[in-house]
Structure 1
């Protein structure tokens, strides 16, 4: 059995779920329509450029979770899944998961998106495990803080190594599929790195290193 690791946003999904959640909150009137949109877009551009301060972003992104009740958040997430995620689940992505599943591989999503957003998506995709940013919960309510290391850039390696300590599996023969140059640290660590509909920087790196490049888009 090998480990098949997948990034989530713009890899198995044809969208960025974190960014889409921000757009959803704007549509619900749950956040300031001007300041929130401007800040969300600025952080998204920084992510694409590889200059994102993950802690500053998370303090911003987790505020709506802290401001609302678990019941309200659960209701919103159901709407979010139906309207913003289901239409962007890539058929070829599901087929790729199915091929690895049929081989007996262990399926793992590792994402810089927080577990509140990513958890139901990972469950919908039927993966075995999920490593995501872990929002702090106190007395049943979210705070604006996180627990542990954010699974972003080199943090993905740290979180993966922590996870492997409790698994009967290694990185020998592991696969990792990602669209983003932010995932270069982990792509460099696996035996089978695959660039999926990669951004310009990752495409150039993949071509230079002879990594496989695939598309999961129609």
Structure 2
């Protein structure tokens, strides 16, 4: 048997309700003269909190609007609405539909919305089948009654089961996506459920059942707060105010180089554990969220790992991303490429880890080829940035930041530069171009530092102990 993917419509494929667009199209074409009672208030509530008994009652009454009208009377309105609604579909929903098609699964729109009104939208989206509420017709006119089940809650599950039986589809191998607690019967019937932009009750159920919680306007795995509609990263932005870090001063330069929309790759140096808080402060000032690639060791930590994923992190296994590894090693870059295709920013620290010992004081920055490879895959703008001063707040030798320096806090600087011109012919040469562009943003005393004292050298090691073979690099002081 085959598998299929079932998508709900409102607040799932679409970020909001489809009702306003359908009603507007029907009024414009003269099929109806006015909207249903309390329509605006009900749809407004729906957009914020999800499906309610009021919105369902409104949907049930819609069959009465069609009573006595020719079955083709709504065709023009449906076509107009289909065009408008297709423009409201989020990019990651489109990519997921394509992913299911590549895997050989048929894609099905399963919705309470009347079939004759929503089929043009489904066709525009390349959706294979529609399971929707159908109106009974007699003599070429709608009768005001239903032809089959009202496709909602258990009625939707019944309709999907009947469709699956007719099309030889195994629900236990299939996927379903919805925002509503009323679709819980359908989500529990498939082997791969997904809660998309879930209402508060479905959010709680999905957390309890450990189902994926998705939002098609962000990368998979990025958590959003129900009702508020904010990413966890945006919540972190609210907390990342400079006054909450009295032991550091922040200076952010070159924000005009960060694109205000569309996908891009941000590449920077790595100097300290404090780089991440500094970047959060900088991104808060840019007004954009972003995804970031991080080493797997961070994601493997029991509490921190899920938090990093919810914030938008992409797990990278450094042992599988060297110059010679292909295949599975590209998986993190494919996730990053999808984020860029969805119009998001992706951050990479090409050095991979904080340089230690003599490498921390080297005049040239050396990086891994992942950023250049991702740039070649996506052709997205590559924006360099540089940290300075973060190592004074939280050196690698310390388990915690130096939080007592409130009287004379060090200055932490994040500087963005113009897009880097890459050639896409050689990953090695493009990596050199990327690292040079980052280095060019560093002040001379950081890019060309003096040889360190033994104490300064020790701060670059996790345990604060300089190996015997590196001690000769330090000067007396």
Aligned-partner Cα distance in 1 for 2:173–2:60: 36
Asked if 2 retains the 8 angstrom alpha-carbon contact of 1:135 and 1:146, the reply is: yes
More helix by share: 1
Structure 1 unaligned runs (5+)?
A: none
1:203 counterpart SS class: helix
Aligned-partner Cα distance in 2 for 1:80–1:205: 33
Partner of 1:134: 134
1:92 counterpart SS class: helix
Asked if 2 retains the 8 angstrom alpha-carbon contact of 1:109 and 1:130, the reply is: yes
Aligned-partner Cα distance in 1 for 2:131–2:51: 23
User: Is 1:119 the equivalent of 2:119?
Assistant: yes
Partner of 2:18: 17
In structure 2, relative to structure 1, the CA distance for the partners of 1:91 and 1:11 (3 Å cut) is same
Deviation at 1:31, TM superposition (A): 2.8
Aligned-partner Cα distance in 2 for 1:171–1:59: 27
Deviation at 1:200, TM superposition (A): 1.5
User: CA-atom RMSD, angstroms?
Assistant: 2.6
Asked if 2 retains the 8 angstrom alpha-carbon contact of 1:22 and 1:40, the reply is: no
TM-score, normalised relative to structure 2: 0.41
Asked if 2 retains the 8 angstrom alpha-carbon contact of 1:135 and 1:145, the reply is: yes
1:85 counterpart SS class: helix
Aligned-partner Cα distance in 1 for 2:86–2:190: 30
Aligned-partner Cα distance in 1 for 2:67–2:3: 38
Aligned-partner Cα distance in 2 for 1:43–1:146: 23
Deviation at 1:49, TM superposition (A): 5.3
1:62 counterpart SS class: helix
Partner of 2:102: 102
Deviation at 1:160, TM superposition (A): 1.6
Partner of 1:32: 34
Deviation at 1:27, TM superposition (A): 5.7
In structure 2, relative to structure 1, the CA distance for the partners of 1:79 and 1:169 (3 Å cut) is closer
Question: Which structure is richer in relative contact order (CA contacts within 8 A, separation 6 or more)?
Answer: 1
Deviation at 1:59, TM superposition (A): 5.0
Structure 2 unaligned runs (5+)?
A: 219-477
Partner of 1:196: 196
Asked if 1 retains the 8 angstrom alpha-carbon contact of 2:110 and 2:156, the reply is: yes
In structure 2, relative to structure 1, the CA distance for the partners of 1:192 and 1:138 (3 Å cut) is same
In structure 2, relative to structure 1, the CA distance for the partners of 1:128 and 1:7 (3 Å cut) is same
| Larger of the two Rg values belongs to structure | 2
Deviation at 1:194, TM superposition (A): 0.4
Aligned-partner Cα distance in 2 for 1:189–1:200: 21
2:216 counterpart SS class: coil
Residue by residue over 1:140-169, the C-alpha shift from the partner in whole angstroms, topping out at 9 and shown as x without a partner, is 122211111111000111112222222222
TM-score, normalised relative to structure 1: 0.85
1:9 counterpart SS class: helix
Aligned-partner Cα distance in 1 for 2:97–2:106: 10
Superposition map of 1:1-218 within 5 A: 1-26=2-27, 30-32=32-34, 36-39=36-39, 41-42=41-42, 45=45, 48=50, 50-52=52-54, 54=56, 56-66=57-67, 68-70=69-71, 72-82=73-83, 84-217=84-217
Asked if 2 retains the 8 angstrom alpha-carbon contact of 1:149 and 1:159, the reply is: yes
Asked if 1 retains the 8 angstrom alpha-carbon contact of 2:8 and 2:178, the reply is: yes
Residue by residue over 1:51-80, the C-alpha shift from the partner in whole angstroms, topping out at 9 and shown as x without a partner, is 3585x5455212333354455422222322
